[in-house]
Amino acid sequence: MVTTDPMLQHVFRAARGFLDTLCAVSSPSGDREGLERMAAVVGAELGRRGFGVEVLHEPDREGRSLPVLVARGPDAGERYLLLIGHLDTVLPAVPPRRANGHLLGTGALDMKGGFAALVGALDLLAARGVEAPSDIALVAVPDEEVGGAISERMVQRWGRGARAVLVLEPGELRGDRETLVLGRRGLMEWRLIARGVAAHSGLAYWQGRSAIAAAARWTAAAQALSEPGRGPTVNVARLVGGDAEFVDGLDEHHDLVGTTSRLNIVADRALAEGELRFLTLADRDRLLATLERLADEVAAVTEVSLELRPGQRVPPVDPSGLGRALAERAVAAAAAAGWTLELEEDRGGVSFPNFLPSPSELPILDGLGPVGGGMHTRREFLDLQSLRRRIGLLADLLAGLGGS
């Protein structure tokens, strides 16, 4: 049952009006003017609530300068409570409208609703006479929907001074329940290089050492190490083999595929590439050690040299990490307000928190924004009941995070 708190109801109506305004602004990724307008509208609202507001300009990958909104409470100095959001949407806006308790609008869910929830939460705290943390720093980026360089850079930069991180992206709607994101998988790219011995398959077959056979053996065993549930996974994304000239010069020699040329060579080179995904650094290290051992074992049996090279790493947000206590507080606050909040302990896909310098050393909560559906489509909607709930939830969390 929804309890009718008149204070919350009043604040909710104002936040809903603000959300209408936000959704009427068209701010698809790359639309500089629209993004500036979004930054200005959100900035003005926070400015009225005592925040120091700046719009920075940062270059994206193409060198275009795009706005980043930074709004800081009076005590957000070297250390702060970092709130993260994005100004951009996937599609250009069409006029928003309300129907059946939903707001249908471009970016209503992802993630203009998160800004409306924040403004509502600040108002609710003010109405209750409770102080919001004075060290809030909100950073809103312009290029999240295109996996942008600015998003990554800003989270890295602002993450350094954060004492805790709240991400205003939407939670998920699961039947009559809503979620909060606690864990996010990290990833590590890898490459395996197999070097065998070439030989004529008719004249000297047994002198050859097939790099393809060795790499296939390793990749099949590696992929089979993947554990269902919360365990780590191994993905073999590519496997290429053949004679060394072919593999090392694919650009030039790829058109050999489909011909009968050089089928009489025992393949002396193979290359496999892929990634690991994991929820904890311990999982990653354990898996990597197993993969290295596997390379040694396969090399010993096949007499093919196998070299495993780790590549780029993105850290996970460990669901048993420092965000846990905060998440449990949120679950309790929701229950006290009469609704059910579920924790997503294993969300795949890299997002804002993965770019923090050391996510394992910070309390992080993601998915604090209101839920809905149809993300990134013309059917996108936000559940207005959820906006009301999330205003209350965010207010309770902020009240508990007061004092730096």
DSSP element (H, E) containing 351: none
What is the side-by-side order of every strand in the sheet holding 52-59?
Answer: 52-59, 65-72, 136-141, 80-86, 162-167, 364-365
Whole-number Å distance between alpha carbons of 388 and 179: 15
Whole-number Å distance between alpha carbons of 156 and 122: 26
Question: Counting beta carbons within 10 angstroms of the beta carbon of residue 308, is it exposed (0 to 12), middle (13 to 18) or buried (19 or more)?
Answer: middle
User: At its nearest, how many Å lie between Zn ion and the CB of residue 110?
Assistant: 4
| 165/188 with CB nearer Zn ion | 165
| 30/231 with CB nearer Zn ion | 30
User: At its nearest, how many Å lie between Zn ion and the CB of residue 307?
Assistant: 39
User: At its nearest, how many Å lie between Zn ion and the CB of residue 113?
Assistant: 10
| 243/380 with CB nearer Zn ion | 380
User: At its nearest, how many Å lie between Zn ion and the CB of residue 144?
Assistant: 5
Whole-number Å distance between alpha carbons of 313 and 255: 33
> Residue with CB nearest Zn ion?
110
User: At its nearest, how many Å lie between Zn ion and the CB of residue 77?
Assistant: 28
User: At its nearest, how many Å lie between Zn ion and the CB of residue 86?
Assistant: 6
Whole-number Å distance between alpha carbons of 331 and 226: 31
| 169/344 with CB nearer Zn ion | 169
Q: Tokens 């790829």 — which residue?
A: 254
| 155/188 with CB nearer Zn ion | 155
User: At its nearest, how many Å lie between Zn ion and the CB of residue 89?
Assistant: 8
| 51/115 with CB nearer Zn ion | 115
| 185/209 with CB nearer Zn ion | 185
Binding site for Zn ion (CB under 5 A): 110-111, 169
Helix axes 384-400, 323-336, angle to 10 degrees: 130
Q: Is 116 left (phi over 0), alpha (psi -120 to 50) or beta?
A: alpha
Whole-number Å distance between alpha carbons of 69 and 120: 18
- Cα–Cα nearest to 287, from 235, 212, 344: 235
